[in-house]
Amino acid sequence: MAASPYPRGSVPSSPFSPLRSRTHNQICRLQTELMQLMMSTTPGISAFPTDGNLQHWTGTINGPEGTPYESLTFKLSLEFPSNYPMAPPTVLFTTPMFHPNVDMSGRICLDILKDKWSAVYNVQSILLSLQSLLGEPNNKSPLNGQAAELWDKDPKEYKRLLMLRHKEAED
């Protein structure tokens, strides 16, 4: 048997290569999602590739009305794995956040970003889900126990701590 002309672990550049096809499909999907977001009239959410890199986006969500987050804006980082949309992106709050389902590093506990992920979800549905989560946390599965407790017991202290964290982003 002849030795492969390709270095060990490399992928041939054939247009029929499964990796090339998957990468092409991912790029097409992300381009479609970007156009969908740009054409959307959904208020309070946006996302764009960071420095033209389709696999790393910066998202923005506005806090929903009638919640402690009203009139605040939050930035997020979205990293798309090579097998997106079959696997969820890694989404983090980059703006300091105080929320029952977000830890102090910005990691998010949301089922659609973990075990309930489906390829039917897209960037827009992720951002809308996160915006909804701001006003309706899942206190049964908190990443931030203090925030979960204050959400139910002391809304004024909750808002004070939220504003302290949000102020860190402005400093």
Q: The whole model's pTM is what?
A: 0.84
| Closest residue by Cα to residue 27 from 69, 55, 65 | 55
| Residue ranges of E strands in 4-136 | 45-50, 53-62, 73-79, 90-93
pLDDT reading at 96 higher than 70: yes
Give domain limits for the chain.
20-168
28 is catalytic: no
- Among residues 72, 76, 109, 162, the one annotated as catalytic is 109
The torsion region of residue 106 among left (phi > 0), alpha (psi -120 to 50) and beta comes to: left
pLDDT tens digit sequence for 52-81: 999 999 999 999 999 999 999 999 999 999
Give 103's contacts (C-beta < 8 A, 6+ positions apart).
143, 144
Task: Please provide the average confidence, as pLDDT, over all residues in the chain.
Answer: 89
Name 63's bridge partners.
Answer: 70
* pLDDT bracket for residue 11 (50, 70, 90): very low
Name the CATH topology of 20-168: Ubiquitin Conjugating Enzyme (3.10.110)
